[in-house]
Amino acid sequence: MLEIQREDLLSTGILQPSEFVTNCRSRRACGVEVSLTTFGFSAFLKLLSMNDRPRRTELRRRFSPAKPSSGYDYHTSFRVRARHYLLDGEAMPDVLASTSTIKKPSERLSAITALQRLETWRAGMSGTIVTFEPVIFESPGKLFKVKFEPDFGVLIHGQITAFHLWNTQKPNLAAGSAYAALALVAEAYQDHDRAPGDVAVLSTRHDPPQELRLGDVPAPLALASSIIEQIEDDIRGATTSLPPPEDRPRP
C-alpha cells in the first residue's frame, strides 16, 4: 500500500493518516464521510480536559451516526438565568425563584449553587456588564470549529473582557487547556473590527468562582498549537476507525 504524502493532504485541506488508502484525496474516496464538526466552547473545554482514552472515545461517539448526541445541555438552565441576572438586571431572588421550573433535581441544585456563587463574584467586581459578539475558530486542517459565544463581557478602564461561564462538574477543568482554548478564541477575534481586550473563563464550580484570563499567562500560543494538533490527530483516528458508510447501521 502506497504512503500518502502529508504535503498532498495539507494542500487539499483534508488530512488522513498516511497508511490509509492508496490515492486517497477525499473523505468520500476513502470510504469515510465526515462533516466539519463545530464544538460549543464548553464542549471543547470538556474535551480538552479529558484524559486521552475518554477523549478519543468521546470523539468516536460524536462522529458515529449510530449514536447521535441527544443535544441536551445540562447547564443551559444556569447560563440563561445568569444572563437574566447580569445582562437584564433581574434581581437574584427572582432568578433563584425561577429555578423551580427546572425538572431535574440535580440540575436545579447545580443551577442554584452556581447562581449564588455568581452573585458573590459580581458583588466583588466593579466593572460594567456588557454583551459581546461571538466568534468561530476553524482548525488549520479544517477538521473542526469552535464557537465561542460569550455569556457576558466586563468593561473596566475602557477594556472589555469577554467571559464564558463554566459549570461542568466532570471532568475537572484543566487550566492549561483552558488557556490554550482561549488563545484560539483570541486569534479568531483578530479578524473582527470589535475585538475584546481579553477573553476569560469564569468557573462557578469553584467557591468563590475562579477567573482564568488569557492575559494573565505568557505565550499560550505554543500550547494552543500542540492542542490543535492533538485534537486533529484524534479526529482522524476516530473517523478512520468508523466502518464505511454502506456498512454502518442506520440510525
Closest to 227 (Cα-Cα) out of 59, 48, 57: 48
CB of 4 within 8 A of CB of 111?
no
pLDDT on residue 70: 52
Whether 249 is covered by a domain: the verdict is no
Closest to 48 (Cα-Cα) out of 236, 180, 210: 180
Q: Please tell me whether residues 93 and 153 are part of one structural domain.
A: no
pLDDT on residue 19: 29
Based on the structure, what is the number of domains in the chain? 3
Q: How many CB atoms lie within 10 A of CB 251?
A: 8
**In the chain, which ranges are continuous DSSP H helix?**
6-12, 41-49, 52-63, 76-86, 92-97, 105-123, 175-189, 221-240
Q: Please tell me whether residues 58 and 141 are part of one structural domain.
A: yes
Q: Which residues neighbour 230 within 8 Å (Cβ) at sequence distance 6 or greater?
A: none
Q: Please tell me whether residues 24 and 103 are part of one structural domain.
A: no
Whether 70 is covered by a domain: the verdict is no
Query: Which residues on adjacent β-strands are paired with residue 162?
Result: 153, 199
Q: Please tell me whether residues 138 and 214 are part of one structural domain.
A: yes
Give the separation between CA 232 and CA 227, rounded to whole angstroms.
9
Looking only at the bridges linking them, the beta strands covering 144-148 and 152-156 are unpaired
pLDDT on residue 68: 52
Q: Please tell me whether residues 141 and 113 are part of one structural domain.
A: no
Whether 113 is covered by a domain: the verdict is yes
**Which segments in the chain show pLDDT lower than 70?**
1-35, 66-72, 241-251
User: Which residues span the domain enclosing 87?
Assistant: 76-123
pLDDT on residue 238: 85
| Amino acid (1-letter code) at residue 206 | H
**3-class SS of residue 36:** coil
Q: Please tell me whether residues 101 and 197 are part of one structural domain.
A: no
Q: Please tell me whether residues 40 and 24 are part of one structural domain.
A: no
Q: Please tell me whether residues 136 and 45 are part of one structural domain.
A: yes
**3-class SS of residue 26:** coil
Q: Please tell me whether residues 233 and 187 are part of one structural domain.
A: yes
Q: Please tell me whether residues 119 and 3 are part of one structural domain.
A: no
| Amino acid (1-letter code) at residue 192 | H
* Separation of CA 101 from chain center: 27
Q: Please tell me whether residues 96 and 145 are part of one structural domain.
A: no
pLDDT on residue 248: 39
pLDDT on residue 144: 94
Whether 163 is covered by a domain: the verdict is yes
pLDDT on residue 32: 43
Exposure class string for 192-224: b at 16+ Cβ within 10 A, else e: eeebbebbbbbbbbeeebbbbebeebeebeebb
Q: Please tell me whether residues 118 and 131 are part of one structural domain.
A: no
pLDDT on residue 124: 94
pLDDT on residue 64: 78
